[in-house]
Structures are given as C-alpha cells and as structure tokens.
Structure 1
Amino acid sequence: MRRRLIQSTLAVVLVVIAVFGVSLVIVETRTISNSAQERVSSEAQRLASIVDSRLIGAGTVSAEVLKGQVTGERFAVIEIPGQSAIEVGTKPEGEVIRGRAMGEEGERVVVEEPRSTVSQEVGRTLLIIGLVALLAVVAAVLLAIRQANRLASPLTDLAETAERLGSGDPRPRHKRYGVPELDRVADVLDSSAERIGRMLTAERRLAADASHQLRTPLTALSMRLEEITLTDDPDTVKEEANVALTQVERLTDVVERLLTNSRDPRTGNAVSFDLDEVIQQQLAEWRPAYRQAGRAIVSSGKRHLQAVATPGAVAQVLAALIENSLMHGGGTVALRTRVTGNQAVVEVTDEGPGVPADLGARIFERTISGRNSTGIGLAVARDLAEADGGRLEMLQTQPPVFGLFLSRTPLKRPPAEDEEPTVR
C-alpha cells in the first residue's frame, strides 16, 4: 500500500509539473525572445538619436565617435545619406537579432545581436525551472512517504488488533491516529473488543457457576442412588427414588436458572411459597452427608412463613450455605427462621471456628476462599438472592452466621424496555 500511495502521489506531481512546466517554458522562451528583440530595437533607436544630435551639431559622424555607444556583442551599421556606411563593433556569426531605426536626418541605423545570448538566457531559465521541478518532485516524494506511513501504519495496527481479537485476546488498545476514518475503525474495534471481553467473561463465569452449582445436586443424587443399591426394602427404595426424582427436578431447575442468569442476571421468577418446604427439602438432601461426617443438621424458628422469591433459587442459596458449613464449619448446623419487618430471614450457623477476620468483608467476592476452595459458592448464592430482590449477608463471623433475607410481599418490577406501560 505504501508503494502504491507513493507512486500515485508522484504520478500526480509529475503530471502537474509536465503540464505547467512545459507551459512555463514556452511562455518564458517567448518572453525572453520578445525582450531581446525589444532591447535591440531600443538600442537602434538610441543610436539614431545620437547620430541625429551629432549631425545637427558638428555635421559629421565617425566610427570613433560611436564606438563607445555600442557595447557587448552588439554590431551596428549606420547609413547616412551622402556618406559611406559606418560599422561599429564586431559582426556576429550565425543567427542574429536585428533592430532597425530611422533618424530625423534620413540616416538609417541597424543593430544586430547574436541569438546565442537569448539561447543562454533561455537555458538559465530552463535550468531554474528544472531545479524547481526537481525540488517539487523531492518534496512530493517526502510528503508521499510521510502520508503513506501515516495511512499505512494505522492500517497495520488495526489489522494486528483484529488478528488479536480473532485469536482470543479482547484487550482494547485505545490508540488513535488523527485520521477520522481510521479513528472510527479503531473505535469500532475497541467497542467490539470490550463486548467480546464481556462475553468471554460471562462464558467463563457461567462455566464456573455451572460446575459449582451442579456439583452439589449431583453429589446428593449420587448418594441417594447409592442408598438404593444398598437396600432390599421396597419401601426404602421407593422413598429414596422419590427423593432422587425431586433432586433431578432440582437439578433441572439449577440448569434453567444458570441459563437464565447467563442471559440476564436481573431476571427472576419470584412467587409466594412456603419457606418450610424448601428448608425441609434441604434437610432431607443433606442429612446423609452430615451423618456420614458424624455431624447433625437441624432447623428451628418460626414455622409456615411465606416468602416471595424463586423456590429453586432459594434452595440453591441454602444448599451453598449448608455445603459451606459442611466443608469449612464444625458441629451441628442449624437453620433458624424468623421475621424482621416485612422480611422473612433464614439464618444458617454452625459451631465451627468461623470466618477469619481478614476475609470477613470480602467473603462474598469471587475467588475469595479461606480453605483452598473455588470461592464461587457464596458469590453465586448472593447473586441468586439479589436476582429476586432479596439479600444474603454475613451477620456474624465467630461462630459464623449467614442470613438470607426474603421479602414477604410481591415486588413491583419496572416494565421492561420493550413493554409499554398500561394506561387506565
């Protein structure tokens, strides 16, 4: 591209120089020739005036008298009636420029000058024009190189940026070049890089959340299936199978919830439900794991509370808290329900050492963990709670107490951007 820009610029300059240079040479040549002719004619007229004055005064004119009046390479012939012709100077060879004049006393003056003087002057003029043209070409080449670099280098950078985007590096460069069109392309590429970066982040987050959220119900389902394989009692098999089916439904709900949150984390399907049902479901799912660990899980507090949220999301939040207590806590895990204002609160606590003081304020941040876990569970749990208008907080660090706050009245959600408000 650089070569094409330089060649096109140079071609335009050469065409301009050819058109205007030839015209200028023709004009200057004619001007110099006309000036030389006028100069010789003026010289002849001047000599005629001198001869007239001499004839009127002294009555005679000689070559010695006129010798100092003809200078340079000029040659003059004065023809006076009744006298022989007077020649002054050296007669030039080759082509000459000739000027004639008639005096008042009837004399005739002819002045000649070699045409080579005109050719020399034309040559000097052509040399000057040629030097100017050469300087113009050099300046045009330098300007073309500069302009080509100014245009080609940004295009190279933009191509590298596009290649980086294609290779999975979505970092925007925020580099501009002072050319509006190229800056517009850079803006679009930076915007695309930011969008791709957000999409990649969302995909990585979805993959991490999915691996974490699906692990718990899959583990619980695996434990139920193991219980079925270890018993021959049909009633026990039936009971465990029903629980397994419930866990499969919960697993399906987890998948749907993850996909919904990946599209719009603010989307919720809040309904009014009995909080005891969700708590009892979690107790039934987690008791085998706690019995295997030699620990207990119990519930207490106010019964038959109605909360407004997504039951599946509340179950996932409680599962994350219960699993967190199983992995990092100790002793008995207790789920307590209470009412504060217009909110139903579920507190999850255990008898373990609690949360370290340096992690207390950051416990809900992603990748923050005190014991080599993924650090995703509590962050996902808080997102799920907030999606339905609730909140998840750490009420106490030692012993640890987490509180899930849920509204007891339906939320008034603003209309979506593509919905029109109802006018009554």
Structure 2
Amino acid sequence: MRRRLINSTLAVVLVVIAVFGVSLVIVETRTIENSAQESVESDAVRLVSIVDGRLIGGEGITSGVLRDQVEEGRYARIDMPGDKRVEIGERPSGSVISATRAGEQGETVTVQASRSTVTREVGRTLLIILAVALLAVLAAVLLAVRQARRLSAPLTDLAETAERLGSGDPRPRHRRYGVPELDRVADVLDASAERIARMLTAERRLAADASHQLRTPLTALSMRLEEITLTDDLDTVKEEATVALTQVERLTDVVQRLLTNSRDPRTGSAVSFDLDEVVKQQIEEWRPASRSEGRAIVRSGAPGLRAVGTPGAVAQVLATLIENSLMHGDGTVAIRTRVTGNQAVVEVTDEGPGVPADLGSRVFERTVSGRNSTGLGLAVARDLAEADGGRLELLQPHPPVFALFLSRAGDPPPADAG
C-alpha cells in the first residue's frame, strides 16, 4: 500500500509539472523573444530620431558619435542619401533579430542582434524551471513518503488489533492516529474488544458459578445415594430416594437459574414462599454430612415465616452457609430465624474461630478465601440474595454469624436491598 501511495502521488505531481512546466516554457520563450525584438526596434527608433536631428542641424553622422546609442554586442547600419553608409559594431553571424526604420530625411536605420543571446536567456530560464520542477518532485516524494507512513502504519496497527481480537486477546489498545476515518475504525475495534471482553468475563463467571453452585447439590445428592447403598430397609430406601429426587429437582432449578441469569442478570423470579420449609429441607440435606463429621445441625427461632424470593436461590444461599460452617467452622451449626422490621432473617453460625481479621468485609469478594477454596461461594451467595431484593451480611466475625435478609410476604420490599 505504501508503494502505491507514493507512486500515485508522484504520478499526479509529474503530470502537473509536465502540463504547467511545458506551458511555462512556451510562455517564457515567447516573452524573451518578444522582449529582444522590442529592444532592437527601440534602438532603431532611437537612432532614426537622433540621425534626423543631426541631419536637420547639418551635423555630421559618424560611428563614433552614435556608438553610445547602440547596446553593446549589437550591430547598426545607417544608409543615408547619396549612398553614404555608417556602421556601428560588428555584424552578427548566423540567425539574427533585426529591426529597420526609415527616417524623415531619407535615411534608413537597421539594428541587428544575434539570436544566440535569446537562446542563452531561454536556456537559463529552462534551467531555472527544471530546477524548480526537481525541487517540486523531491518535495512531493518526501510528502508522499510521510503521508504513506501516516496512512499505512495505522492500517497495519489496526490489522494487528483485529488479529489480536481474532486470536482471543480482547484488550482494547485506545490508540488514535489523527485521521478521522482511521480513528473511527479504531473506536469500533476498541468497542468490539470491550464487548468481547465483557462476554468472555461473563462466560468465565458463568462457568465458575456453575461449577460452584452445582458442586453443593451434587455433594448432597451423592451422600443420599451413599445412604441408599448402605441400607437394606426398603422404607429407608424409598425415603432417601424421595429426598434424592427432590435434590435432583433443585439441581435442575439451579441449572435453569444459572442459564437465565447468564442471559439477563436482572431477571428475577421472586415469589412468596414458606421459609421454614426451605430451612427444614436444607437441614435434612446436610444432616448426613454433619453426622459424618461428628457434628450437629440445630434450628431455633420464630416459626411460620413467609418470605419473598426465589426458593431455589434461598436454598442455595443457605446451603453455601451450612457448607462453609462444616468446612471451615467447628462444633454445632446453628440456624436461627427471626423477624426485624419488615424483613425475615435467617442466621447461620457455628462454634469455630470465625472469619480472619485480615479478611473482614472482603469475605464476600470473588477469589477471596481464608483457606484453600475457590473463594466463590459467599460471592455467589450474595449475588443470589441481591437478585431477589435481599442481602447477605456478616453480622459477627467471632464466632461467625452470617445473616440472610429477605422481605416478608405481604410487606413491600426495602427501597435499597443491596
């Protein structure tokens, strides 16, 4: 592209120089020739006037008297009546420029100049025009190279940016080049890079959330299946299978909710539901895991609470809190329900050391973990709580007390649920 830009610019410049240069040469040549002819004729008119004056006054006509009236290098001849002739200067050889004038006393004055003088003047003019043309070509080459670099370098850079986008590197470069059209292309590429980056971030977040949210119900389901394999009591098998089917349904709900949130995070499915039922369900699901750890899960607080939210999401939040207590805490896991204002609150605590002081409120940030875990659980749980207008908070770090706040059924949701 750079070579094409330089060649096209040079072609335009050469055509312009050729058209205007030839025209200028023609005009200047004619101007020089006309000027030389007019100068010779002016000398002839002046000599005729002088000769007429001297003849009328009876003065002599000699070459010495008239020499100063003729320019140097020119030849003048005066033919007077009586075959008298006076010559001034040397007669030029070759092609000449000549002018003849007749006087009132019968004399004839002829002035001649060598055309070589005109030829030399035309040659000097041609050299000047040629030098100017060469300077113009040189300037055009420099400008063409500069312009080609100015245009080709940004295009090469934009091509590299597009290649980076295609190879999976969506970082915008935010480079501008001072050319409106190229800057517009750069704006579009940067906007596309930002959109691709957001899409990739959303895809990675969805994958991380899915792996974390599915792990908890899969773990609980695995425990139920293990209970089934360890018993020969048909009634127990039926009971455990029924619970397992319930967990499968909840697992399906988790998958559906993940897909829905990935398409539109603002989409909610909050309904009025029995909070006690969800708490009871989670206690039943996690009791085998707590027994295997030699620990207990107990419940206390106000019964008969109804809240507004997504039952599956609330169950997932409680499952995350219970799992954290079993994994990071110690002693009995206590679940307490209470009412504060127009909100229903579910608190989960244990007898462990609690949240480290260096974490504090950062415990809900993604990738922040006090131990060797993903650091996603509490962050995802808070997102789930806020999606339906609730909130998840750490009320007390030692011992740890996590609280899920939900709007009570029949009460308007709080103005600022986040």
Q: TM-score, normalised by structure 1?
A: 0.95
> Match for residue 167 of structure 1?
167
2:97 partner SS? strand
- Contact 2:77–2:86 (CA under 8 A) maintained in structure 1: yes
* CA deviation string 1:51-102 (max 9, x = no partner): 1222223432122322333332211110111142211111111100001112
Amino acid paired to 2:188: V
Q: Distance in 2 between matches of 1:236 and 1:124?
A: 118
1:292 aligns with 2:292: yes
Q: Distance in 2 between matches of 1:261 and 1:81?
A: 123
Q: Distance in 1 between matches of 2:47 and 2:284?
A: 136
CA spacing shift, 1:412–1:13, aligned 2, 3 Å: farther
CA spacing shift, 1:93–1:150, aligned 2, 3 Å: same
Superposition CA RMSD, Å: 1.4
Q: Distance in 1 between matches of 2:268 and 2:329?
A: 31
- 141-150 or 63-72, larger mean C-alpha shift: 63-72
Q: Distance in 1 between matches of 2:15 and 2:41?
A: 39
> Match for residue 348 of structure 1?
348
Q: Distance in 2 between matches of 1:58 and 1:84?
A: 15
1:122 aligns with 2:119: no
1:110 partner SS? strand
Q: Distance in 2 between matches of 1:279 and 1:409?
A: 16
1:269 aligns with 2:280: no
Amino acid paired to 2:168: G
> Match for residue 25 of structure 2?
25
Amino acid paired to 1:313: A
> Match for residue 39 of structure 1?
39
Q: Distance in 2 between matches of 1:29 and 1:159?
A: 53
> Match for residue 417 of structure 1?
none
Amino acid paired to 1:150: R
- Contact 2:390–2:404 (CA under 8 A) maintained in structure 1: yes
**Count of aligned positions:** 414
CA spacing shift, 1:413–1:269, aligned 2, 3 Å: farther
Alignment of 1:89-108 (within 5 A): 89-108=89-108
Q: 5+ unaligned residues in a row in structure 1: which ranges?
A: 415-424
Structure 1 residue 266: deviation in Å? 2.0
> Match for residue 138 of structure 1?
138
1:371 aligns with 2:371: yes
> Match for residue 62 of structure 2?
62
Q: Distance in 1 between matches of 2:413 and 2:235?
A: 46
- Contact 2:221–2:247 (CA under 8 A) maintained in structure 1: yes
Q: 5+ unaligned residues in a row in structure 2: which ranges?
A: none
1:249 aligns with 2:249: yes
Amino acid paired to 1:256: Q
Amino acid paired to 1:384: L
Amino acid paired to 1:371: R
Q: Distance in 1 between matches of 2:155 and 2:64?
A: 81
* CA deviation string 1:150-209 (max 9, x = no partner): 111111111111111111111111111111111111111111111111111111111111
Alignment of 1:200-239 (within 5 A): 200-239=200-239
CA spacing shift, 1:412–1:17, aligned 2, 3 Å: farther
CA spacing shift, 1:413–1:23, aligned 2, 3 Å: farther
* CA deviation string 1:275-330 (max 9, x = no partner): 01101110111000010011111111111100000000000000010011111000
Q: Identity percentage over the alignment?
A: 78
2:98 partner SS? strand
Q: Distance in 2 between matches of 1:328 and 1:53?
A: 134
**Runs (4+) off by over 3 Å:** 409-414
- Contact 2:164–2:170 (CA under 8 A) maintained in structure 1: yes
> Match for residue 85 of structure 1?
85
> Match for residue 327 of structure 1?
327
CA spacing shift, 1:237–1:372, aligned 2, 3 Å: same
Amino acid paired to 1:238: K
* CA deviation string 1:140-159 (max 9, x = no partner): 11111111111111111111
1:164 partner SS? helix
Q: Distance in 2 between matches of 1:95 and 1:49?
A: 27
Amino acid paired to 1:23: S
Structure 1 residue 413: deviation in Å? 12
Q: TM-score, normalised by structure 2?
A: 0.97
> Match for residue 305 of structure 2?
305
> Match for residue 389 of structure 2?
389
Structure 1 residue 412: deviation in Å? 7.3
- 318-327 or 53-62, larger mean C-alpha shift: 53-62
Q: Distance in 2 between matches of 1:263 and 1:319?
A: 24
> Match for residue 398 of structure 1?
398
Alignment of 1:278-289 (within 5 A): 278-289=278-289
